[in-house]
Amino acid sequence: MNYIQFKNRFFNMGCFSIHQVYAWQSEFDKSNITRWVKRHLLVRLKNGYYSFPEYLNQADFRYFVSNRIYCPSYVSLHTALAFYGMIPEAVIPVSAVGALKKAKFENAFGTFSYRQIASELMFGYDIKPFSGNHALLFAQPEKALLDLLYLYPFYNTSKELEELRLDEDFMQQDFNMERFLGYARQFQSKALVKRMKMLLKIYT
């Protein structure tokens, strides 16, 4: 197997799995992958998933990696809040929400953490066009905040909520309160409602 042929087949996919390779060539020798990783011609993302080093410097590609290596999932929580400018911190790990069990992966693109929610709460994300024919699953601001309040119960005091330092201009001008309240009802969580009321008292 020639690496150039392989790259021509899979490069535009951005990320690919070994199962996709076998679907392409059932007799493919997996030792080629091991050799190309050692020669830094491929980047191992997690067991069975790979990408190419040319993508390491591509802006926002790590969000695409997050979607691909553990799905179904969408980028949310602190990462999404920082992306929208709702919190001041430059969040380095990529945080996501999904229907699978809690997980964490590290690779050359960064650290990827996943929190689990019920499958019926897998909503409130946009499909954003990304790099040609690809797309990102990315939480809307209102859902990212609800995911945070729901999955991180220590945000249960005014002090903890104030330390989020949500951008007040965003909350007043860009935050969709009707969507926020509508999404919240779908959680059917009294604890979440309590945290929401404290948060709205601080930031609205």
pLDDT of residue 199: 96
Torsion of CA 169, 174, 137, 115, to 10 degrees: 50
Torsion of CA 164, 182, 142, 158, to 10 degrees: 0
Geometric angle at alpha carbon 68, from 86 and 23, rounded to 5°? 165
Length of the chain as a residue count: 204
pLDDT of residue 19: 97
Q: What is the pTM of this model?
A: 0.94
Contact present, 88 and 73 (Cβ < 8 Å): no
**Please, which residues bridge with residue 103 across strands?**
114
C-alpha–C-alpha distance, residues 145 and 198, integer Å: 13
In tens digits, the chain (204 residues) has pLDDT values of 799 999 999 999 999 999 999 999 999 999 999 999 999 999 999 999 999 999 999 989 999 999 999 999 999 999 999 999 999 977 789 999 999 999 999 999 999 999 999 999 999 999 999 877 889 999 999 999 999 999 999 999 999 999 999 999 999 999 999 999 999 999 999 999 999 999 999 998
